[in-house]
């Protein structure tokens, strides 16, 4: 039955490409998605599925009931875009100024719609059910996953899978990973309040720029001297704002950045040391500071059994030579919330193809991927459903 479903998916490729390109031309930012979930819901209804909209806010779920009773597999894709100007020269370039699909969520959506269509054609052979989760707002903390879960999208679900296309992985290849795969991602902000003055008389001011510079330098040392070297962590200051003129010492500056970790111990140590460094630097210089630390998505930690299921299925689809174990990825993903609730696995499919200039990194203005990745992700979803429902009773 898998081969029949594969054929249905392949026959739908042109339509899926058209859907992907339509979404690419009319992208919508996190928490502002209106057109996209409507398109998704209409398509799923046409497949004969039980569709719910407004799940957790702007999410869409659809239930496919197999002909025989059994467990329920959930498949998830995200559909939000990013505040980036599309600089590609392609017919499907974004038509919305300053917004584009620069991370592949349009590909994810098309692949999951394709899997839904294909599986709906063979539902009489399914021993169980499939829950399709189309999630809004993955790109912006707090994200849509947590809200959709709280609204019940994982109720009665036994296992959950998700896929992400990568522009630095050749098309036709797959990455899997047992246990930790993607990092937890947090945000910090440090407001330094000094005393402004003229640049020619720094002795009459309490310079928040100088203090901030010391904080930046010291923060960069946290991972080298405060975190176990076998426990990967990244602490990066990404912005330094507040100065307005070349010869004016400002009253206040703001630093902000991100922390990426895998263990809760490293996460807590990073927060503790950021606070300690900022407070000590400001206190010693006669300034004040306000440190805000916001916990973002937890680490994506795959269930080992389900990650190995991905590996075995991937080997059958693309061959052993085209599937490999992922290294730890410092990017974050709110799929982490799903695998904290249910057993499951996240995996990557390749989308890189130099022949069509699909080589730029994620979140780049010229980001693009090979649309054949739609088929590979769809086939993986189809086979994961059949394998789990047939072998997990």
- Which of the following is catalytic: 2, 106, 138, 158? 138
Q: Into how many domains does the chain fold?
A: 2
Q: Dihedral through CA 173, CA 176, CA 180, CA 183, nearest 10?
A: 20
Annotated catalytic residue 80: yes
End residue of a domain, out of 237, 261, 294: 294
- At 1 the pLDDT is 85
Can you give the pTM of this predicted structure? 0.94
Using pLDDT thresholds of 50, 70 and 90, give the confidence band for residue 393: low
DSSP secondary structure string for all residues of 69-108 = EEEEEEEEEE--BBS------STT---STT-B--SSHHHH
- Which of the following is catalytic: 2, 78, 80, 178? 80
Annotated catalytic residue 87: no
| Distant-in-sequence, close-in-space partners of 319: CB < 8 Å, separation ≥ 6 | none
Q: Is the pLDDT of residue 88 over 80?
A: yes
Using pLDDT thresholds of 50, 70 and 90, give the confidence band for residue 112: very high
Do residues 264 and 306 both lie within one domain? no
Do residues 151 and 47 both lie within one domain? yes
Do residues 156 and 191 both lie within one domain? no
Tokens 């006669």 -> residue: 286
Query: Phi first, then psi: what are they for 116, rounded to 5°?
Result: -65, -45
Give the range of the structural domain holding residue 322, as residue numbers without chain letter.
2-182+299-391
The 10s digit of each residue's pLDDT in 273-287 is 999 999 999 999 999
Phi-psi map region of 42: left, alpha, beta (phi>0 left; psi -120 to 50 alpha)? alpha
- At 243 the pLDDT is 83
- At 244 the pLDDT is 85
- At 265 the pLDDT is 96
Do residues 152 and 232 both lie within one domain? no
Query: Phi first, then psi: what are they for 205, rounded to 5°?
Result: -120, 170
Do residues 160 and 118 both lie within one domain? yes
Q: Which CATH number does the domain housing residue 216 bear?
A: 3.30.70.360
> What three-state secondary structure class fits 121?
coil
End residue of a domain, out of 294, 314, 335: 294
Do residues 312 and 273 both lie within one domain? no
């Amino acid at each position: 039955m898998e081969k029949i479903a594969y054929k249905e998916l392949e026959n739908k490729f042109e339509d899926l490409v058209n859907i992907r390109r339509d979404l690419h031309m009319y992208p919508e930012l996190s928490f502002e998605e209106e057109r996209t979930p409507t398109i998704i819901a209409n398509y799923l209804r046409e497949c004969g599925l039980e569709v719910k909209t407004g799940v957790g806010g702007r999410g869409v779920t659809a239930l496919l009931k197999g002909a025989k009773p059994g467990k329920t597999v959930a498949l998830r894709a995200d559909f939000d875009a990013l505040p980036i100007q599309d600089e590609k020269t392609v017919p499907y370039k974004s038509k919305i100024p300053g917004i584009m699909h620069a991370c592949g969520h349009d590909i994810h959506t098309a692949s999951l719609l394709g899997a839904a269509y294909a599986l709906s054609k063979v539902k009489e052979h399914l021993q169980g059910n499939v829950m399709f989760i189309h999630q809004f707002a993955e790109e912006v903390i707090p994200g849509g996953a947590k809200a959709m879960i709280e609204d019940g999208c994982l109720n009665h679900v036994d296992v959950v899978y998700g896929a992400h296309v990568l522009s630095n992985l050749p098309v036709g290849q797959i990455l899997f990973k047992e246990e930790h795969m993607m990092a937890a991602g947090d945000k910090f902000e440090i407001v330094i309040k000094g005393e402004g003055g003229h640049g020619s008389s720094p002795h009459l001011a309490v310079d928040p720029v100088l203090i901030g510079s010391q904080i930046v330098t010291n923060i960069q040392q946290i991972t080298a001297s405060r975190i176990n070297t076998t426990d990967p962590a990244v602490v990066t200051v990404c912005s330094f704002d507040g100065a307005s003129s070349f010869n004016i010492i400002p009253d206040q500056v703001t630093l902000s950045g991100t922390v990426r970790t895998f263990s809760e111990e490293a996460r807590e140590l990073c927060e503790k040391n950021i606070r300690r460094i900022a407070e000590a630097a400001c206190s010693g210089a006669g300034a004040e500071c306000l440190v805000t630390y916001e916990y973002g998505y937890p680490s994506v930690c795959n269930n080992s059994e389900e990650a190995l299921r991905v590996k075995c299925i991937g080997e059958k689809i693309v061959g052993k030579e085209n599937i490999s174990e992922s290294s730890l990825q410092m990017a974050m993903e709110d799929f982490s919330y799903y695998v904290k609730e249910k057993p499951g696995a996240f995996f990557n499919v390749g989308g890189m193809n130099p022949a069509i200039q699909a080589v730029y990194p994620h979140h780049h203005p010229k980001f693009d991927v090979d649309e054949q990745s739609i088929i590979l992700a769809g086939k993986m979803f189809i086979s994961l459903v059949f394998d789990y429902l047939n072998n997990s009773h």
